[in-house]
Structure formats: structure tokens, C-alpha cells
Structure 1
Amino acid sequence: MYRLELTPQDLVTSRFAISPLVETMHAQLVLDGRQPAPLLTDWAERWREPYRRLRARHHGLQVMAAIIGAKGVANVDFLAPPPTGVDVPFETELAKMRAVPLEQAHAEIRQALALRPPVDEPTRRLLFGADIVELLAEGMQALWTEIVSPGWPRFHAVLQRDIAHRAGRLAAYGWAEALEDLSEHVRWISSGHIEVDMHSEGEISLGGRGLLLLPSVFGPKVGAYLAEAWPYALIYPARGVAAASREHRDLAGLIGRSRARILAELSGPATTTQLAALLGQSPGTVGEHLAALRRAGAVTGARAGRHVHYSRTPLGKALINPSTLRP
């Protein structure tokens, strides 16, 4: 277990962020079958064979397995450095990865290999070669471009909604409420500490640097960046990944597939633009479905600045989950 000590300055500087590069790294773990993703079974089945063909062409994707843990724990942080902002583009993150000094890359690789069974000599030569950083970057670029980016609008909308939910709880109720349902492995201690159940242990004072909180659609468990070389960061499972369950598809026969999907996605408030990204439809089309659901009393809208955030009404909740009805 890690115990993170937060000062008042840490509480002010801590923030949420989205990292397409971190998500790309976790996507590879899912497609390799080394990280479970029961809520993304359809996505994994669709892309597993294209990924295998892609991996066969890129040595970087092949050797990455040697430095990422069998249980999905990455000990080589330079593969996906924590982002510097809320919505940093993939290309900017990849450029930061490419700028990692070769000495640091080799040091992190050496530390990771010390915890694993020996690798074969050809793989070892690649890992400690002069072009290993570029080799891995090329693999990540290909994986993002051909596999992850087609679904990124939907993934991004899920991550945005998770951040909006937690940021709202943080602003209204404080850190204890914001972290309450983040993960069973994360606990807020009233003395100003966060406890994180992980494979390692230690006590770390953030020292005013703050904590970066990264939701993930691919990561089923909590992960962390706790090395001095990088910003301190905590990766956790995002809410709302599994919007399309069997009961939602059954509901489609009653009110139509798109409207059933909208109700399913409204496990938390969302805007028309976010829902359009999640469904892969135009904002105009989604707006028409929302208007119909609103007239039927299944959803309601509340304006916040320039945006209207939609949520389920009691009727909408009952349509999604009939067990909420009382006899």
C-alpha cells in the first residue's frame, strides 16, 4: 500500500486530466490479453486481429511486452509520461516521449527487467539499443492511428464526463466525496492522506507538486506514477464505460436503438455534443432524440452557462432498470 501525504498546496494544485497516450498504452495491454476489460469486450474482439497484424509489422509493439508487467503494471514510465494539461493532443504527448533522454530510458528499462524473467538476446539488444525510444514511439504512433483513434471521440466523451462528475463532487463536497467511488483501492484519510492499495508500498509526500488524476476507459484497476522524474499521477477506471448492456438492447425494441442508447449513456449528466460523440451521430440528430425523450418525460435538461446538461428522470431510470419501480 502507498500512503500519499498531501499538503494544503497539493490540494490546490491537484487536477484532473486526459491522456490519449496513456490510453493507447493500456489499449495494447487489453488487445494483448494481458489486461482484462470486460466492459470493452466488443471493442477488443473487433480490433484484436487488426492489432495482431499491426504488431507483426512493428518491433516496438513486440518488445513493449518485455517491459510492461504481465498483470498490466507498467514500470517504464517514459512509455506514456503523465500529461501536462487537461486535454493534451496525442502528438504533443508523443513528442514528449520522444524527447526522453536515452540514459533515462535505459535506466527505466533496466529496472523493469530486473523484476521479470530474462528476455531473449535479440529483444535485449533492441531494448538497450540507441534507437529504442524512437522504436517504441513508432509503435505507439501506429497503434494510436490505426486502432485507438477511430474510437477516440467516444472514449474521450466518457473521460470528459467522468471528470465533470468528480470535479463537481470535489467543488461541492471536498476530496473525500470526489474520491469515494473512484476505486475500492483508493481511500481518503481525513488527516490529509490518500491510501492506494497496489503491488508495492511506501510513503510519499507530494511536497506541493499536487496529484494528477487520470480516468481511463481501458484500465480496470488503479495505477500510479510515483517516481521523482515525473509528475505524481493516479490512473483510475472511468465511470460510464459499459453503457450498452443487454437490458439496454432490449429497451431498443420499445423506443428505438438511438434513444435507448441515450438513456443508457445518461448514467450521469451529459451535453448534446458529448452524447453525439458517444453515439457517433450528429448533434442535430441527437438533439431530435433528446427532444422526443424530454416530451415523453424520460429526460430533463438543466442549463449551465452555454450548455444544457441532460439527465434521466425517474421514468427514464425505470425504463433502463425496471427494478427501480415500486409495486
Structure 2
Amino acid sequence: MLRFVAGRDDLLNSRFALSPVTELENLLRKLSGRKRAALPPAWSARLTPAFQRLRAETALDAVLALQSERYGAAFVVQPPASMAQTIDDDLAALRSTPLAQARKEIADCLARRPATDPKVLAVLEDRHVATIMADAMEAAWHELVAPDWPTLRAVLERDVVHRGGLLSTGGWQAAFAGLHKRLAWRDGGLELSRFVDATYELDGAGLLLVPAVFVWPNIGAYTDPPWPKALVYPARGTAALWDPGPATPPDALASLLGRSRARLLVSLSDAASTTQLATSLGMATGAVGDHLAVLRNAGLVTRARSGRSVLYRRTPLGDALAGGTP
């Protein structure tokens, strides 16, 4: 069992952040078979041809060689700094990795899962290994993740909004409660079952919480220096991405409100911004704003500012009309 021991300062300093490169790395694990939970067939069929081409044309196999089911090189996928993290930030961090740190983590990974391909070993032994890997990851990002990133980001942001609401009403214990079935808050510490048997003091630095789509259904952790302690957990709403169809409102609700407004109301089971709703439902942002104004005037949704975003939520009347439809 993994245990993070938290004090008062740790709860104050814990925070959420988004990580584009985490999505890429976990997607690569699924496409390569490193994760037991495969992609849905439609996603696999769409992405596998590009993935195989990238393996032939770039040094992506060297990246894959450092992955095992429960371990990977943290210098390739470094913990993010904030909610505003971009793939350019991630790749810049990878390229600037000290060679000694890269060498250490490569050795640790190969001790767990040896590599024998001469081309892979040539990359891993190159003094410019971090730059070579960053170039391969950049190509993979643009081919495999970038087209879907707006939708993925909307899911991640909605998860953070949801966790933030739990945090404001019930504290960190409430926010952690539904993070993952193997995670529990006990006696001033966060415990993760079926993981490495170790205890780590957070020492006032707090815990970094990183929602992710492609990590589902697993959960990951950063524990080794020099990286900050972090948890990578499955974001709420991931299952909706695997469903090829949009949220479908009941026919009676669609007849009453119109299908577009009914879809919006059904989709607001969690708070969301106009942009997030437009991205996830494939609607124009302006049209979403107009429909939300009508729903708000009818008392079915309410809005409140959260940082730079305006978030919409269903009212109790909106919940009753939506009928608990997910």
C-alpha cells in the first residue's frame, strides 16, 4: 500500500493541474498493449494506423521501451505545473532534462523490462536522448492527440470543477472520496491500495492532482525525486468519450424544450462553461450561449463565475426536468 502523509500545510498547498503529455503517454500505453484496458474499438481503429507509422518513422519505440504496465520514465512525462499546461511546456521540460537524470531513469526502466532492439538501444545510449524522445513525442502528439485535445481538455476541466465543488463543501476528504476505488483518506494520510508498499511525507509541499482520460481505469503516482509527489487519476466523464453518440435527452423533454436545449440540460449533470459544452456536444459556441440564456431565464440553469470561466449548473427544477439522465 502506498501512503502519502499530509499535514495542514499539505492540504493548503495541494492543487490540480492538467498534463497534455500524460494523455499522450497513456494513449501510447494502450495502443502498444502496455495497459490491460484497451481503447474502445472505434478509437483503436482510427489511431492504430498512425501509431504504427510513427513507430516506423520516429524514435517512438525508444519511448515505448521505457514503459511497463506499472512503471515508466518520469523525465519523459514530467508532472505539470498548472491548469494552463501546454504540450509545448511538456516538451520543453523533457528537452531540458539533465543527462544524468535521464540516464538514471532509463537504467531503472531497463532493469524492469530489458530492451534488445539495437535501434532502441542506440537512442537510449545517445547523449541527446531527451531531445530525440521529445521529437518523437511531438510527432505523436500532433498525429494522435491534438485533433481530440479540445474535447479531452473539456472533460478534464469539468472534472476539476466537480472536485473543486466537493472541496469547497466537504474539504479534501470529500474531494478524495470519489477519486478512485483504490484510494482512501485515513488518519491524516491518503492511501492507495494494490500499489508499491511505501510511505511518503509530503513535507508541506502538498500533493499534485492530475485528472486524465487515457489512464482509465487505473491510477498512477509520482513518488521519486526530483519530481513533486502527484496522483494521476481517471477523470469523470471519460466513459462519455467512448460512447459514439451525443447525450440523448428523453423525447418528452426534447418536445418541451427543443432538442438542442434538452441536450444541454441533460449534459449539465456537472457544471460546465459555454466552451466546454460546445466542445463536448459539437455545437457552435454562440448557439450554446443563446440556448443557455433561454434555460437560465426559465429557471432551469444558473451561472456563477469560477476564476476566468463562467460555469453553468442545473437548478433543482432543471434536475427534476432532466430526470437524473446522465
TM-score calculated relative to the size of structure 2: 0.87
Aligned equivalent of 1:68? 67
Q: How does 1:26-45 map to 2 (within 5 A)?
A: 26-35=26-35, 41-45=41-45
Aligned equivalent of 2:267? 265
Aligned equivalent of 1:54? 54
Q: Counterparts of 1:19 and 1:235 in 2: how far apart (Å)?
A: 9
Match of 2:190 among 194, 206, 209: 194
Query: Deviations for 1:198-247, whole angstroms, at most 9, x for unmatched residues?
Result: 43110111111211000001101110010121011100000012226489
Q: Counterparts of 1:35 and 1:264 in 2: how far apart (Å)?
A: 32
Query: Deviations for 1:137-168, whole angstroms, at most 9, x for unmatched residues?
Result: 01111111222111111111111111111112
Q: How does 1:112-261 map to 2 (within 5 A)?
A: 112-189=109-186, 191-220=187-216, 221-243=218-240, 245=243, 251=249, 255=254
| 1:131 to partner: Cα distance | 2.1
Is the aligned partner of 1:313 residue 2:310? no
Q: Counterparts of 1:314 and 1:214 in 2: how far apart (Å)?
A: 33
Instruction: Please identify, of 126-135 and 231-240, the stretch whose mean Cα deviation from structure 2 is larger.
Output: 126-135
Identity rate, percent: 37
| 1:92 to partner: Cα distance | 1.5
The count of residues paired between Structure 1 and Structure 2 equals 315
* SS in structure 1 of the partner of residue 277 of structure 2: helix
Structure 1 unaligned blocks of 5 or more: 322-327
TM-score calculated relative to the size of structure 1: 0.86
Q: Counterparts of 1:317 and 1:294 in 2: how far apart (Å)?
A: 18
Task: Note closer, same or farther for the CA distance 1:253–1:30 as it changes in structure 2 (3 Å cut).
Answer: farther
Is the 1:154–1:280 contact (alpha carbons within 8 Å) kept by the matching residues of 2? no
Task: Note closer, same or farther for the CA distance 1:130–1:304 as it changes in structure 2 (3 Å cut).
Answer: closer
* SS in structure 2 of the partner of residue 313 of structure 1: helix
Is the 2:65–2:115 contact (alpha carbons within 8 Å) kept by the matching residues of 1? no
Is the 1:222–1:237 contact (alpha carbons within 8 Å) kept by the matching residues of 2? yes
Letter in 2 for 1:176: Q
Is the 1:162–1:238 contact (alpha carbons within 8 Å) kept by the matching residues of 2? yes
* SS in structure 2 of the partner of residue 194 of structure 1: strand
Letter in 2 for 1:68: Q
Aligned equivalent of 1:84? 81
Q: Counterparts of 2:267 and 2:151 in 1: how far apart (Å)?
A: 11
Letter in 2 for 1:62: D
Is the aligned partner of 1:21 residue 2:18? no
Is the 2:5–2:188 contact (alpha carbons within 8 Å) kept by the matching residues of 1? yes
Task: Note closer, same or farther for the CA distance 1:8–1:41 as it changes in structure 2 (3 Å cut).
Answer: farther
Q: Counterparts of 1:258 and 1:54 in 2: how far apart (Å)?
A: 39
Letter in 2 for 1:28: L
Query: Deviations for 1:106-128, whole angstroms, at most 9, x for unmatched residues?
Result: 11010111112453344223212
* Cα RMSD for the two superposed structures: 2.7
Query: Deviations for 1:72-117, whole angstroms, at most 9, x for unmatched residues?
Result: x333100111012221121112101110011110110101111124
Is the 1:31–1:51 contact (alpha carbons within 8 Å) kept by the matching residues of 2? yes
Q: Counterparts of 1:241 and 1:290 in 2: how far apart (Å)?
A: 24
Aligned equivalent of 2:8? 8
Task: Note closer, same or farther for the CA distance 1:275–1:248 as it changes in structure 2 (3 Å cut).
Answer: closer
Letter in 1 for 2:198: G
Aligned equivalent of 1:282? 284
Structure 2 unaligned blocks of 5 or more: none
Task: Note closer, same or farther for the CA distance 1:261–1:31 as it changes in structure 2 (3 Å cut).
Answer: farther
Letter in 2 for 1:12: L
Is the 1:40–1:242 contact (alpha carbons within 8 Å) kept by the matching residues of 2? no
Letter in 2 for 1:174: G
Q: How does 1:96-107 map to 2 (within 5 A)?
A: 96-107=93-104
Is the 2:266–2:322 contact (alpha carbons within 8 Å) kept by the matching residues of 1? no
* SS in structure 2 of the partner of residue 3 of structure 1: strand
Query: Deviations for 1:264-283, whole angstroms, at most 9, x for unmatched residues?
Result: 53231112221012223321
Task: Note closer, same or farther for the CA distance 1:173–1:101 as it changes in structure 2 (3 Å cut).
Answer: same
Is the 2:21–2:90 contact (alpha carbons within 8 Å) kept by the matching residues of 1? yes
Q: Counterparts of 1:174 and 1:201 in 2: how far apart (Å)?
A: 27
